[in-house]
Amino acid sequence: MSFEMQGDELHAEGVSLAAIARAVGTPAYVYSEAALRSAADAFTTALAGVPRARRMFAVKANPNPTILRTLARLGFGADIVSGGELALALQAGIAPKDIVYSGVGKTPGELATALAAGIGRFNLELEREGEVLSALALARCVRAPALLRVNPHIDAHTHAKISTAMADSKFGIAYGEAAAMYGRLAALPGLDLHGVAVHIGSQITDLAPLRATYRRIGQLIARLRAEGHRITHVDLGGGLGVSYRDGEPAMDMAAYGAMVVQETQDWGVTVLFEPGRFIAARAGVLLTRVLWVKPALPHPFVIVDAAMNDLARPALYDAWHEFSAVQATPDRFVANIVGPVCESSDIFARARVVDRVREGDLAVFHTVGAYGAAMASTYNARPLVPEVWVEGARFAVIAERLPAAAVRPHRLPEWTASRAVARLA
């Protein structure tokens, strides 16, 4: 295990978390290189039976350059959803051909920049996007490589806010409209349309909706080929779930790999995968310090120095993150774990049995390597917390603590009169 007790103190690999707290303060994200590599290897092994499998890390899960560089060395490309993520992926040394651009709101400027960079492909989310991309490509005398993202209208059986394939979802092209739209887009001179993409949601632990999705995609592939279209690549997205609490199921990767082989073996395509959470979630903890233990009925409030701006998932999704003391304690108690932000939603746990902690104690929230620091903000003018990388017995700060004012510098207004005001003057 990458985060475990050594003696009476929690460590990240060979480094005491108390030592990290002394060096960089709290709160702070701490990542384990060994945990990240272990998850990446597990994903790769599970898909070893899939010919021409390509792994593209979902940058939105954790865009830290050290994370991206490490995964690039392990053979991962990047799934991006913004121009900023494109820049980060390229800076991390990921080859443009190994980048796929997803998302419903790519601007014309972002499309042009990604096209100029020579990325591997665009996942188109609407017909107009394809038309704009075709025109941009023609202006550069190139053809833009693209897939059409399809919405199969399948319930992923996950949280409503991370489900992306129901009929009312903003993502993808309705399954019933996909074949006709594919034909129209394939005829555009600036597009090299050569396959389809799908992603039905996140934190999926049940194979059934994924199997149903892949079968629908297989039927679509057969139809498109029958209509004369070239299908060489299929992007199956990501969304594989991990366990956030003791006893909670995670995706059975051996079973998933076997299912993918079974469902895709006759497709004759390169299959792309976009893992994010599965790779990064268990590689990180959020190190925090107890500020106060406030007596209350029926349960006391443990007020820590981490807050919803540092870790937004509990406030957004009622997400569960295990909470444990850094220093071993034999005692447990029932408490509410809360942060200092001035919002009633700044609550990490309600009426939960946790390690008994006291004022000044160090503690951690587990399984925060995905969508932790990536979703952080400076709400309440709080600084962005540092991120720390651990390899064996050494550690390094890979993102500095950044005050809110440094993120968005403020200045006094420099007034400019509008034309209407100027005329009145």
Per-position DSSP letters for 364-414, written without gaps between them = EE-S-SSSSGGG---GGGPPBPPEEEEETTEEEEEE--B-HHHHS------
Decide if 352 is inside a domain. yes
292/304 Cα distance (integer angstroms): 7
Residue ending a domain, choose from 241, 273, 305: 273
pLDDT score for 326: 98
pLDDT score for 420: 55
pLDDT score for 1: 63
> Do both 223 and 311 map to the same domain?
no
- What total number of domains does the chain contain? 2
Q: Which residue is catalytic, options 141, 297, 342, 351?
A: 342
85/88 Cα distance (integer angstroms): 5
CATH of the domain at 258: 3.20.20.10
Decide if 92 is inside a domain. no
> Do both 221 and 166 map to the same domain?
yes
Q: Are strands 301-304 and 332-338 parallel, antiparallel or unpaired?
A: parallel
Decide if 55 is inside a domain. no
pLDDT score for 248: 83
Domain enclosing residue 23, as ranges: 3-30+281-407
> Do both 108 and 142 map to the same domain?
yes
254/264 Cα distance (integer angstroms): 16
Decide if 86 is inside a domain. no
pLDDT tens, N- to C-terminus, the chain (425 residues)? 689 999 999 999 999 999 999 999 999 999 999 999 999 999 999 999 999 999 999 999 999 999 999 999 999 999 999 999 999 999 999 999 999 999 999 999 999 999 999 999 999 999 999 999 999 999 999 999 999 999 987 865 655 555 555 667 777 899 999 999 999 999 999 999 999 999 988 788 889 999 999 999 999 999 999 999 999 999 999 999 999 998 888 889 999 999 999 999 999 999 999 999 999 999 999 999 999 999 999 999 999 999 999 999 999 989 999 999 999 999 999 999 999 999 999 999 999 999 999 999 999 999 999 999 999 999 999 999 999 999 999 999 999 999 988 888 888 898 887 665 444 44
> Do both 285 and 250 map to the same domain?
no
> Do both 266 and 359 map to the same domain?
no
Size (the chain), residues: 425
> Do both 113 and 243 map to the same domain?
yes
pLDDT score for 160: 58
> Do both 266 and 300 map to the same domain?
no
Would you call 141 a catalytic residue per the annotation?
Answer: no
pLDDT score for 172: 85
> Do both 133 and 207 map to the same domain?
yes
> Do both 269 and 307 map to the same domain?
no
Amino acid in position 195: G
161/129 Cα distance (integer angstroms): 24
Decide if 75 is inside a domain. no
pLDDT score for 169: 73
